[in-house]
Structure formats: C-alpha cells, structure tokens
Structure 1
Amino acid sequence: MRLSTVILPIHRWVEGQKIWRRAEDLGFHAAYTYDHLSWRTFRDGPWFGAIPTLTSAAAVTQSMRLGTLVTSPNFRHPVTLAKDLISLDDISGGRVTLGIGAGGTGFDATALGQEPWTPRERADRFGEFVPLLDRLLTEDSVSYEGNFYSAHEARNIPGCVQRPRLPFAVAATGPRGLRLAARHGQAWVTTGDPKLYENGTPEQSVDAIRGQVEKLTDACVALGRDVTTLDKILLTGFTPDRGRPLESLDAFVDFAGRHQALGFTEIVIHWPVPESDFAADQKVFERIAMEAPAQLR
C-alpha cells in the first residue's frame, strides 16, 4: 500500500515549495495537485495553475512522483495538454502521472464562456479525449478529426521519458469511464460514492466502493485484461468518514486497511489546509505519513 498526498495549489511559491519539499522528506510516494481554474470554497482565494506548479515542484524534489488529480476536458485540449505533459515529464525525469477524469459542473465548466455540458456530453468528450491523448503521447505525429477534438500533424518529439508514455490514472465510476480505465489506464481512481457523502455510513461506503471495484473487474475481463495489472487509487476526503481517518494513526491504519482489503494499492490524503474541509492536525498528519505505510505492508 502506497501513501500519497494532494497539495492544493493555493500557496505562493515562496511558501509552496517548502510544502512540496516536506512532502518528499516525509516519504510520500506521490504528491498530486488539482487541475482546476478555481474550486469550490477556494474560489475567492489564491489558486494557481497545475502544470506550472508541478513543473516548479519537479525542480525542488528529487524522487517523489508528481501528478494531477484530476485533469479534465473542461478547459483542456488534448493537443496542447500533450505538449505540456511531455515537457513536464522531461523536466521531472519521468516522475509524472496524469490523473484524468470527465470533469463536472463546477466553475471550470463555464469559465471559458460555454454552457455546462450534460453528463452524456461529458462522457462523449471524455471517450474521445483519452484515446487521442494516448496517441499524442506515444506517436511522433498525429492527425485526427473527431466530433469534439481535432489534431493536424501534431508533433510531439521526442515523446515522454517514460515509455511508451507517462501513466494515466483514470477517474471513473460509470460503465463508459471504467472501460476507458481498463483500456488506457495504468491506474484507476475513485473518491467513493458521492451519494453517500452527506448521510451514508462508512460501512455503506466500503460496500459501494467494493461494487465499483467489481464493475472495474468486469470491464477488464471484457477486454481480456487482468484487473490486478491496474493500480487502484482512493482519493480520500469525500467518503462519509470525511476527516476522521486523519484524527490519529490508528484511525488511519484502520481506514486504509479496510480499503486495502478491496484491492487498493494507493491512498491519497490531503495536505492540511486550516479552516477548510481539509483541516487536520499537522503533527498527526506527518506521523501518519511516516508510520502508516510500514503498518500497511
């Protein structure tokens, strides 16, 4: 079981770089950031771009993996995203994972002046976005005409440091997204069942996530893939447990162990942000980072 963190892009770099360095010192497998233009209750405060933040983080860390949780088509185009990712993968020495999802109806969905896409349109776009991005990151030159995206002799030389390309961690719970994860993903990401967040129980959440894993397994079987070749990542903070797993080392080990039993290979916890949904005791958080992985082997 690997332990990773999400560092929200809310800090001016003079302070932010200290957090990314500390994350590596604590031994986190990876540090991710959210790829949004703004996000929820943080909308009216500082919020920086994901790719520049990760590029800067690559310059102040040595071995920790870096990535997005998650990038979406809401304001990204596969051609320009591919160029940024190849550059970031090179700068980091091949330490980048792309977390990618279909996106939602938040601020990103309308920031460019468009009407919010329906769930079906988001799924349609995602179904075109991921395969095209896969090609752009693995082929020297790509031409493509789709319903939503086009590429004309888009060149991406020399390609990724990681071969054949940097890994995709596909966030999905519906059948179409799970098929994309099974076909194109090196990892699958879930936050649990959002319908249980307000009034569900931890036990109901575990059952719901077990059902998601079973559907992922079915999607892999249909493609002739062994589901154990796909890493499974749980992004915490969105289940009915909320912040309770970070209240103590024992509470976290119990929480992580229940999900490890479902086949999860990586747990992601939010770097504490005071006076927010991600508030937590920094000392407890750091103890979890240093001691929990050994207890979950």
Structure 2
Amino acid sequence: MATPLRLSTLILPITRWHEGGQRPWRRAEELGLHAAYTYDHLSWRTFRDGPWFGALPTLSAAAGVTERLRLGTLVTSPNFRHPVTLAKELIALDDISGGRVTLGIGAGGTGFDATALGQEPWSPRERADRFGEFLPLLDRLLGEDAVSHEGRYYSADEVRTLPGCVQRPRLPFAVAATGPRGMRLAAQHGQAWVTTGDPKVSATGTAAESLAAVRGQVERLEAVCSELGRDAAALDKVLLTGFTPDRPLDSFDAFVDFAGAYTELGFTEIVLHWPTPDSAFAADEKVFERIAMEAPAQLAG
C-alpha cells in the first residue's frame, strides 16, 4: 500500500517574532500540515540585506506556539556549524518540542554562508569530504552518551550528550543529496532523502524535463540503497518545491497534477514555501490554504 502524501511548508525566518513571525507557524498547525521547516542560513540570496533570523532559536520559539506540528531545518550544513555544538542544540530543541524535530541536512553550497566566517569557499570535493565526516559524527553524538573522534576536519574529545534526544535512538535525518556520495550518506544515515530537483535542468528546461531528471535521481538513489542492502521504499522521499519550472501554487488543480506526478515517483512529502509577498515565493494565500486542507485527501482518493 502506497504511503499517503504528507504536505509541509517552509517558512522564511524574516519577520520579527512579535510582529507576526509566529503567525505562519500557528497557522501551519491549524491547517493540518505535517511539518514546518525553515532555512538554516546566516543570510540567503535576495533576502541578504533584509531581516533574517537564526534557524534553531526560531524553531525553539515555534515549538512553544505549536503542539503537533513537526519542525525542522531544510537544510543545515557544515558551512558554519560543528557537529558537537550542533548536537547539543538539537538535543535541547528536541526536548523543548517534545520530540517533534527533523534535521534536514546537506553538504552546503557556495553562498554567503560559505565565506561569512572569513574562510575561502570550499571546493565541491572538500564540501563532500567534510559532509562525509560531519554526518556520521553527528549521528554518533545524537545517539551515544559519550563520543570521542579525531578526524581530518572535526574532532570530539569525550563529549557528553546526555540525556540524548526525546526521539530514539535519535531525531530523524532528512539528507539532501543529488550526487553518489551524498546519496550513499542518505542511505546509510537518513530516515528521508531530500531533493529540490536538478538545478541544471530547472534553469532552462520544461516541467516534463525536470520531472524526468528527478526520476533519474530516484533511480540512482534506489541503486545506492540496493548496493548497501537498504530498502529504498523505507526511505522517505521529500521534494522541496520552488526550484523547478513548475508552478504548483498557481491553482488547486495545478498542485494536484504536480503532486500526483511526483507521488508516482515515490515521493512521500512535498514542501511548499509559505506565501511570501514581493518575493519569488509570492502566492495566493487562499489557494495555498485550500491545497493544505484538501489536496492530501484528493490525492489519496
């Protein structure tokens, strides 16, 4: 039996909490969405010169105004984080939320985060190398009481992480990856795999070409899982929308057609950006809310 599609949202951390910042988190829960995520950046794209708040404090605040909604990052990366300090903060967030946290995590990129601490941007190979060390160490830190590790990039010296996560053996990882090394990490450590599509195809291609490119990603992930003895069907597949040629928020029917095509590829969760006026994520709030409330049932039928 196919897994029912879950709908989630991504809320940009751009509004002061007591000036409306908490509203979308409350409303996301009222709409019955599965999860609400936020970006874990120091600043981001066209929003760089405007307000931008930290991800983990924002999620902690969101935990205080919601009860059932899952919360998480899409995605955290090694660009400005260390596994030891990140693990301690995630354990606290998982406790504050009552075990509702999912960590979206990836290798990072070349944006503002990559140079904000004064370093030169890492090459694609170094990003992959660092991620390959970062994620297994973080896995251990969240699942073991005491951890020591001396690696090429990261170290931990008798680090205590008591009492550990509320979720056992640790909070779930949703690993963003498109290349073979990242997909291997997703298969080894992830409870979910995340994609935004193929950037090369999305830049100039059609919606059909983008769908075909994602189908290829899914097939490569399945091959990696098979090689490692992991059941690919047991790995949730998450699509973060907004980066393909599709326009799923143009109408309710447009979304149903879009989501139907991706559920046929095995996707179990689709994440829509919360409507943000005067941005690339502007959308009709009424259409968004109808999608949130009615689309899952229609797709299930």
SS at match of 2:267: coil
2:242 corresponding residue in structure 1 = 237
1:201 corresponding residue in structure 2 = 206
2:260 corresponding residue in structure 1 = 257
What letter matches 1:2 in structure 2?
R
CA distance in 2 between counterparts of 1:26 and 1:290 reads 6
What letter matches 2:163 in structure 1?
P
1:190 corresponding residue in structure 2 = 195
SS at match of 2:73: strand
1:7 corresponding residue in structure 2 = 11
Structure 2-normalised TM-score?
Answer: 0.97
Deviation >3 Å, runs of 4+: none
Deviation at 1:116, TM superposition (A): 0.1
- Structure 1 residues 245-284: Cα deviation after superposition (integer angstroms, max 9, x where no partner): 1011100000000000000000000001111100001111
1:291 corresponding residue in structure 2 = 294
Aligned: 1:274 with 2:250: no
What letter matches 2:186 in structure 1?
A
CA distance in 1 between counterparts of 2:163 and 2:81 reads 22
1:75 corresponding residue in structure 2 = 80
Structure 1-normalised TM-score?
Answer: 0.99
List aligned pairs for 1:81-160, cutoff 5 A.
81-160=86-165
SS at match of 1:28: coil
CA distance in 1 between counterparts of 2:110 and 2:232 reads 30
CA distance in 2 between counterparts of 1:150 and 1:80 reads 11
CA distance in 1 between counterparts of 2:118 and 2:202 reads 30
CA distance in 2 between counterparts of 1:260 and 1:229 reads 15
- Structure 1 residues 182-221: Cα deviation after superposition (integer angstroms, max 9, x where no partner): 0000000000000022210011111100000011001111
What letter matches 1:212 in structure 2?
Q
Aligned: 1:175 with 2:170: no
CA distance in 2 between counterparts of 1:87 and 1:178 reads 28
CA distance in 2 between counterparts of 1:266 and 1:2 reads 5
CA distance in 1 between counterparts of 2:251 and 2:211 reads 20
What letter matches 1:4 in structure 2?
S
CA distance in 2 between counterparts of 1:246 and 1:294 reads 17
Aligned: 1:18 with 2:27: no
What letter matches 2:72 in structure 1?
G
Deviation at 1:107, TM superposition (A): 0.2
What letter matches 2:127 in structure 1?
R
CA distance in 2 between counterparts of 1:245 and 1:2 reads 15
- Structure 1 residues 204-249: Cα deviation after superposition (integer angstroms, max 9, x where no partner): 11110000001100111111011011000000000111xx210111
- Structure 1 residues 87-139: Cα deviation after superposition (integer angstroms, max 9, x where no partner): 00000000000000000000000000000000000000000000000000000
Q: Percent identity?
A: 79
- Structure 1 residues 19-49: Cα deviation after superposition (integer angstroms, max 9, x where no partner): 1101100111000000000000000000000
CA distance in 1 between counterparts of 2:120 and 2:61 reads 33
CA distance in 1 between counterparts of 2:294 and 2:259 reads 13
Deviation at 1:60, TM superposition (A): 0.3
CA distance in 1 between counterparts of 2:264 and 2:21 reads 35
What letter matches 2:78 in structure 1?
P
SS at match of 1:159: coil
List runs of 5+ in structure 2 lacking aligned partners. Answer: none
The number of residue pairs the alignment matches comes to 295
SS at match of 2:21: helix
SS at match of 2:40: coil
CA distance in 2 between counterparts of 1:16 and 1:252 reads 26
The 10-residue stretch of structure 1 (193-202 or 62-71) with the greater mean CA deviation from structure 2? 193-202
What letter matches 2:115 in structure 1?
T
CA distance in 1 between counterparts of 2:187 and 2:230 reads 7
